[in-house]
Copies of this chain bind each other. A is one copy, B any other.
């Protein structure tokens, strides 16, 4: 599978086994959002012998390279999500912990408008809806 190699080369990172493996974990994960622990355990489960320090370093590098995005759904752990080229925000169910992705053009537009009204350019944003199932 040369796909990972290309992705790494494209962002100027050396193609190494740990990096390829971490990319593969993120690409094939059932859950798009994984913590460092999640990734680390997935690697161990797959029989890979990487240190958790490498997972930390690698995910941080991937973030810097724009390969992944870091989220903070709860105040502790970061979770990482592979960038698939589409922007979206998140809805987190407070009961099940399930994460749902959504996108609202209207909200995006309003955010930009609000920033402009204050004489600012919008660089980025964090929007998380905390929800629970309707009864």
Contact = CB atoms under 8 A, between A and B. Distances in A.
Contact of A110 (B78, B107, B128): B107
Interface residues of A, number: 35
Contacts of A15: none
Interface stretch (A21-29, A49-57, A117-125): A117-125
Interface of A: 70, 72, 75, 78, 91, 93-94, 100, 102, 104, 106-107, 110-111, 114-116, 118-135
Q: How many copies make up the complex?
A: 2
Contact of A111 (B129, B133, B134): B129
Given A70-B75, A115-B91, A130 B134 contact: no
A90 to B, nearest CB: 10
